[in-house]
Amino acid sequence: MDTVKQLGELALGSRLKRLSDEIMKDGKKIYAANKIDFEPKWFPVYYTISQATSITVTDIADAIGFKHPSVSQLVKELEKNGLIESIASTKDARKRNLKLSKKGRNLLPGIESIWSDISNALNEMINQHTHNILCALEQCEDDFEQTPMLERVQAHRKARLMSQIEIIDYEPKYAKDFLRLNVEWIEKYFKLEDEDRRTLEDPDKYIIKSGGAIKLAKYKDEIVGTSALMKISEEVYELVKMAVTEKCQGLQIGKKLGLSVLEKAKELGAAKVILESNKKLSPAINLYKSLGFKSGQHFGEKSVYERCDIEMEIMI
């Protein structure tokens, strides 16, 4: 049983490393069979230096796409084995220009013949297959350069987490959850104000019956987040009381709540949704921006909350 093969795309990196190790191992045998004292891992750096009159470590790293420390280590090994030499730059004494040593130049003709044999053998193998591995590798490299693997995996993680969150409508039985979630975040950063108490202690009266709506986030059978819409006018609603319990932050709950209340605002006939926040709540501000909110004009009067120092709005 070949576990790496069975794992498919999940073990892509391991499979490529295994293939690389096999090529490197045979490469070492090839050099030894031809009585050439050369390590396969030196190839990209040695070759790049051989193609230039002189070159810096930084230029080599850029040319072959290796990290600077990795190139520096290979340069040290090549220099230790007498294949290259370094000379201080006339323009910048901190930089060293690299070039092949006499030993390195003498090695070049013989090793180029070996490279030709290796190239022909690999080309023969590649051309036997329907899919060209070099073309596939180039496409993968281009794809990862455009969108790194980390970013791709994070996108799928976010989608997976969001699928586990259930958004439900408010019912009176959730009044204590609505109060708990909002008190939790307000008291962490600010102080509970009279307007908070009025709204949180009777959301049915001050939000629902006034033409607004409340959404709740349910995760693993627990109410872990909430957000609400307060009716300001026939076409304007205010996003208020968005909260996600601290232990569940980072699960995309706020994003799903935000999308849900904006969709609800459309259903209610809103043309614009506004909100107030505080600039020090940078995660919240970033969330609002990701939902499409932008800095808005002042609502016409001073905020009823002491903590608010920023207004945002979105046209829907």
Interval 263-294: pLDDT, tens: 999 999 999 999 999 999 999 999 999 999 99
CA pair distance 150, 196, nearest whole angstrom: 40
Tell how far CA 292 is from the center of its chain: 20
The answer on pLDDT for 298 being more than 70 is: no
pLDDT in tens, 175-204: 999 999 999 999 999 999 999 999 999 999
**Strand 294-295 to strand 310-315: parallel, antiparallel, or no bridges (unpaired)?**
antiparallel
Q: What is the pLDDT of residue 301?
A: 64
Residue 297: the pLDDT is: 62
The Cα–Cα gap between 181 and 254 comes to 13
Residues 248-261: tens digit of each pLDDT: 998 899 999 999 99
Percent of the chain clearing pLDDT 70 (strictly above): 98
- Give residue-wise pLDDT tens across range 21-59: 999 999 999 999 999 999 999 999 999 999 999 999 999
What pLDDT does residue 93 have? Answer: 67
> Angle at Cα 184 formed by Cα 183 and Cα 187, nearest 5°?
70
In this predicted structure, the answer to whether residue 154 has a pLDDT above a threshold of 60 is: yes
Q: What percent of the chain has pLDDT over 90?
A: 87
Q: Is 288 left (phi over 0), alpha (psi -120 to 50) or beta?
A: alpha
* φ, ψ for residue 256, nearest 5 deg: -70, -40
Q: Model confidence at 79, in pLDDT bands (50, 70, 90)? A: very high
Q: Residue 182: how many CB atoms within 10 A of its CB?
A: 21
Rounded average pLDDT over 127-132: 89
Query: Alpha-carbon distance 116 to 96, whole Å?
Result: 31
Is-contact 293 237, C-beta < 8 A? no
Domains present along the chain, CATH in parentheses:
34-131 (1.10.10.10), 164-315 (3.40.630.30)
With a cut of 60, say whether residue 300 has pLDDT above it.
no
- Reported confidence tier of residue 1, pLDDT bands at 50, 70, 90: confident
d(CA 99, CA 54): 5
